[in-house]
Amino acid sequence: MRHEVQEGPWKSAFRRLIRNRSSLIGLIVLIALILVAVFADQIAPFTFREQNLDATFLMPNAVNFFGTDNFGRDIFSRVVYGTRISLMVGVISVSIALVIGGGLGAIAGYFGGYLDTIVMRFVDVLISIPSILLAISISVTLGGGLRNVMIAVGIGSIPSYARVMRASVLSIKELQFIEAARALGTKKHIILLRHIIPNTLAPVIVQSTLGVAGAILAAAGLGFIGLGIEPPNPEWGAMLNAGRQFIRDYPHMSIYPGIAIMITILSLNLLGDGLRDALDPKMDR
């Protein structure tokens, strides 16, 4: 369709994004984390499950950069592999929430009427349950494991995407170019998919970037209370929890996964805030 017309605003948004120093840092750190996740096999000196019961609780040293845990596993390698798990959980669970929540919100916003009432009351019910509580209940019901954590966290954040999407659709569907399309006799689903949804992307992108951070934190929270990914997979929250009982003697067991969580969340939040500013149409030029 009219891709050339859209390139302008996206390009300028990107320019604004990298001109903002904090969001640029967020972007660079995030890219670095993605590289770590992709090349974990090359970066980590050990596997994440290799135990050495004769070398437990080692302090950070030249071989084990972050020391070893209570099973003698290399914490650096586990943190590196943990990046892969956390980013995967973040992205996939947000995708689940985005597709379901965004879809519901778009339908509710565009068609209005009874459909809107039914969908949004359902979303209201979901939103009245704290999302972490919802995630805990889902994850208790489904059992542990990577896939179930992603589903649990994803479902837990459906409402926010539904609301954002519905609000955007509502504001766009009254604009003149939509009316024009309707006047031309364009089919409803074509209008929704081709004309409305592409124009709602800005707030959704912001929401998703911040949402990935929330999802990673939620997964770490589930891991911390023992509902997360099954051992021996190195999930940061679970590593933090495992280190908790030794925190007064061997704080390195908790510090490094904690720092990893912090850096990831911080970079996503910086990027998300930057995107919010960059994609705000009022900020143009």
Partner 1 sequence: MKFKHIIALISIMFLFLTGCQPAAPQVKDTLVVGMGGDAVSLDPHATNDQPSSRVGRQIYETLIVQTEDLQLVPGLATSWRQVDDLTFEFTLKQGVKFHNGEVLKASDVKFTIDRALKSAFIGHIVGQIESVNVVSDYLLTIKTKQPFAPLLTHLAHPAMSILNEKAVTDGGENYGLNPVGTGPFKFVSWTKLDSIVLTRNDDYHGTKAKVKDVTFKIVTDNTVRTIQLETGELDIAYDIQASDVSRVSGNSELKLLRGANLSTTYIGFNVEKAPFNDVRVRQAINYALDMNAVVNAVYLGVGAPAKGPLGPNVFGANLDLVEYAKNVDRAKQLLADAGFPNGFTTTLWTNENQARVDIAEIVQEQLAAIGIEVKIEVVEWSKYLADTAAGLHDMFILGWTTVTADADYGLFALFHSSAKGTAGNRTFYANARVDELLNIGRTTIDANARLAAYKEAQQIIRDDAPWIFTWTGENIAGTRANVVGFVQHPAGHHKLVDVTFNK
Among the residue ranges 10-18, 30-38, 69-77, 261-269, the one whose residues contact partner 1 (CB under 8 A)? 69-77
Give the separation between CA 215 and CA 210, rounded to whole angstroms.
9
Determine the number of helices (DSSP H) and then strands (DSSP E) in the chain: 14, 0
CA atoms within 13 A on the CB side of 253: 22
Q: Which of residues 42-61 bind partner 1 (CB under 8 A)?
A: 49-51, 53, 56
Specify burial of residue 219 (Cβ count, 10 A radius: 0-12, 13-18, 19+): buried
* Closer residue to partner 1 (CB): 48 or 66: 48
Q: Which of 91, 92, 88 is nearest to 38 (CA)?
A: 88
Residues 3-42 that bind partner 1 (CB under 8 A): none
- Minimal distance in Å, beta carbon 244 to partner 1? 7
Q: Smallest gap, in angstroms, from Cβ of residue 81 to partner 1?
A: 15
Measured CA to CA, the distance from residue 26 to residue 249 in angstroms comes to 33
Task: Verify binding: residue 174, partner 1, rule CB under 8 A.
Answer: no
182 binds partner 1 (CB under 8 A): no
Q: Does 232 bind partner 1 (CB under 8 A)?
A: yes
How many Å is the maximal CA-CA distance in the chain? 76
Give the residue with the Cβ less far from partner 1, 139 or 157: 139
**Contacting residue, 10, 71, 111, 122, with partner 1 by CB under 8 A:** 71
Using alpha carbons only, give the angle 256, 259, 265 rounded to the nearest 5 degrees.
145
Q: Which is nearer to partner 1, 174 or 249 (CB)?
A: 249
* HSE value, Cβ hemisphere, 13 Å, CA-based, for 241: 17
Binds partner 1 (CB under 8 A): choice among 231, 259, 262, 283: 231
Residue 38 vs 225, nearer CB to partner 1: 225
Residues that bind partner 1 (CB under 8 A): 49-51, 53, 56, 70-72, 140, 143-144, 226-227, 230-232, 242, 244-249
